[in-house]
């Protein structure tokens, strides 16, 4: 297994920025963070009345809240993950993929399973995380599908079964909630020999996930921020898939990930050059104080360094012809 902290280092370097956070909403099902863009994470399945920081998050920087993704406290980790996704989404660069438009009257939260139905038939499928309606879907299509869940229902197995079932699976659908709850490093390692789909609104659009053995990202595009915010605030769960977001499926094989990384490198390089010119102009005007956007320049440098490393690893594994 890779260093279990690696994914959290990557998330901080990609998403951290001195950008002020606006709204943070902890809904019944989803947690939402707004900071130039919107990010989501699944809310903890535990109740509390004693959050000591409630009412203090507006105005903090993305970098401050993104750091919470490393925490083991479920609420802080969840807020941190939503901030990570806001930070990554503000970069505005999604990988090439297929957008799954919602269908009237359909269970749109199951659209990813519908998309991969042909590949799943006759295979051993393990789903980590509970998806409402999945039992009916699996039964209707005669799938050999097992659900592992931290709080198992009548037809689920406990998540401890992962050590036995995931290495034997052909397909693994892994909830991205495994990132804030700290099970991702081990689960990704166990699923190395399977075709693995990291899925859900918690998915960060991060090319490095290829290096953790992920084959597909099945995250969301936010199509209506206002509807999404209202739905989250009003306790919506699967309803967000009907209007606020839609699933996007992106294969992250070597070539597609190299193309994605190239675009992100070009974007980060242009941003760095703009900031460096602004810094030269700032000091050229005789200012002795520190360049006001220096923290942003540092954040871009960290992101660019990560992207360069990502691209080198991809190139070493699969050079261009």
Instruction: Residue 169: name the closest of 135, 127, 205, 209 by CA.
Output: 127
Is residue 1 a part of any domain in this protein? no
Tokens of 268: 């980060």
**Can you give the CATH number for the domain in which 49 is found?**
3.30.390.100
224 by Cβ neighbours in 10 Å (0-12 / 13-18 / 19+) ranks as middle
Q: Is residue 160 located within the same domain as residue 218?
A: yes
Across residues 294-303, what is the average pLDDT?
A: 92
Q: In what order do the strands lie in the sheet with 245-251?
A: 98-100, 245-251, 216-222, 195-199, 171-175, 124-128, 144-149, 157-158
Kindly state whether residues 115 and 203 are assigned to the same domain. yes
Are residues 49 and 153 located together in one domain of the fold? Answer: no
Could you tell me which residues are beta bridge partners of residue 26? 31
Phi/psi for 238 (5° steps) reads: -65, -15
Q: Are 248 and 288 part of one and the same domain?
A: no
Quick check: is 177 in a domain?
Answer: yes
Tokens of 62: 């993305």
pLDDT of residue 147 exceeding 60: yes
Same-domain status, 303 and 234: no
On whether residue 53 sits in a domain, the answer given is yes
265 found inside a domain:
no
The answer, yes or no, to whether residue 274 has pLDDT greater than 70, is: yes
Tell me if 266 is assigned to some domain. Answer: no
Domain end (from 89, 124, 150)? 89
pLDDT of residue 193: 96
Answer whether residue 113 is part of any domain.
Answer: yes
Which of the two residues, 150 and 51, has the higher pLDDT score?
Answer: 51
Q: What are the tens digits of pLDDT across the range 88-135?
A: 999 988 899 999 999 888 899 999 999 999 999 999 999 999 999 999
For residues 37 and 15, is the Cβ–Cβ distance under 8 A?
no
**The domain boundary residue, chosen from 256, 286, 302:** 256
Tell me the whole-structure pTM to 2 decimals.
0.93
Q: Which residues pair with 77 in a beta bridge?
A: none
Cβ neighbours of residue 48 closer than 8 Å, sequence gap 6 or more: 75
Query: What is the phi/psi pair of residue 267, to 5°?
Result: -65, -45
How far apart are the C-alpha atoms of 241 and 102, rounded to whole Å? Answer: 7
Please report the DSSP string for 279-292 in residue order: HHHHHHTT--SPPT
Alpha-carbon gap, residue 136 to 122, rounded angstroms: 17
- Asked whether residue 110 is assigned to any structural domain, the reply reads yes
Give the three-state DSSP class for 148: strand
| Same-domain status, 112 and 221 | yes
Mean pLDDT of 130-157: 93
Q: How far apart are CA 114 and CA 249, in angstroms?
A: 12
Query: Which structural domain, as residue segments, surrounds residue 298?
Result: 272-317
Of the residues 42, 58, 89, the one at which a domain ends = 89
Q: What is the pLDDT of residues 241-267, one digit of tens each?
A: 998 999 999 999 888 888 888 999 999
Shared domain for 115 and 219, answered yes or no, is yes
CATH number at residue 165: 3.40.50.11590
pLDDT tens digits for range 1-50: 468 999 999 999 999 999 999 999 999 999 999 999 999 999 998 889 99
In the block, tokens 């609104």 appear at 201
Residues 145 and 223 in one domain: yes
Q: What is the pLDDT of residue 70?
A: 97
For 38, the token pair is 């919107």
Whether the CB-CB separation of 200 and 179 falls below 8 Å is answered with: no
Q: Is residue 170 part of a domain?
A: yes
Q: How many domains does the chain have?
A: 3
Q: Under a CB-based contact definition with an 8 Å cutoff, are residues 314 and 254 in contact?
A: yes
Contact 291, 256 (CB under 8 A): no
User: Are both 15 and 140 inside the same structural domain?
Assistant: no
For residues 167 and 38, give the distance between their C-alpha atoms in angstroms, rounded to a whole number: 35
Q: Which residue has the higher pLDDT, 26 or 153?
A: 26
Distance from the Cα of residue 34 to its chain's centroid = 15
Do 59 and 174 lie in a common domain? Answer: no
My answer on whether 44 and 144 are in the same domain is no
What's the mean per-residue pLDDT of the chain? Answer: 94
175 and 232 within one domain: yes
């Amino acid at each position: 297994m890779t260093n279990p902290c690696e994914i959290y280092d990557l998330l901080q370097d990609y998403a951290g920025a001195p950008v002020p956070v606006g709204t943070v909403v902890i809904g019944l099902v989803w947690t939402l963070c707004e900071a130039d863009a919107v990010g989501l994470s699944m809310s903890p399945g535990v109740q509390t009345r004693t959050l000591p920081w409630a009412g203090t998050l507006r105005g903090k920087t993305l970098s401050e809240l993104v750091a919470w993704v490393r925490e083991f406290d479920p609420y802080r980790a969840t807020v941190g993950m939503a901030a990570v996704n806001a930070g990554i989404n503000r970069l505005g660069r999604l990988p090439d993929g297929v957008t799954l438009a919602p269908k009237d009257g359909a269970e749109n939260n199951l659209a990813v399973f519908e998309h991969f139905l042909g590949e799943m038939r006759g295979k051993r499928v393990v789903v980590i995380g509970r998806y409402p309606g999945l039992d009916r879907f699996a039964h209707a299509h005669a799938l050999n599908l097992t659900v592992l869940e931290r709080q198992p229902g009548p037809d689920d197995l406990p998540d401890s079964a992962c050590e036995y079932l995931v290495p034997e699976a052909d397909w693994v659908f892994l909830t991205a909630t495994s990132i804030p709850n700290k099970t991702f490093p081990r689960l990704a390692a166990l699923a190395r020999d399977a075709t693995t789909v990291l899925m859900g609104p918690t998915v960060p659009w991060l090319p490095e996930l290829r290096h953790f053995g992920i084959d597909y990202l099945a995250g969301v595009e936010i199509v209506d921020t206002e509807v999404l915010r209202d739905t989250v605030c009003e306790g919506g769960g699967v309803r967000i898939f009907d209007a606020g977001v839609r699933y996007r499926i992106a294969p992250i094989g070597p070539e597609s990930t190299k193309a994605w990384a190239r675009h992100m490198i070009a974007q980060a390089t242009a941003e760095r050059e703009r900031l460096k010119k602004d810094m030269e102009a700032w000091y050229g005007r005789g200012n002795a104080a520190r360049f006001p956007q220096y923290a942003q320049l540092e954040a871009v440098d960290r992101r660019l360094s990560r992207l360069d490393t990502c691209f080198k690893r991809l190139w070493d594994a699969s050079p261009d012809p």
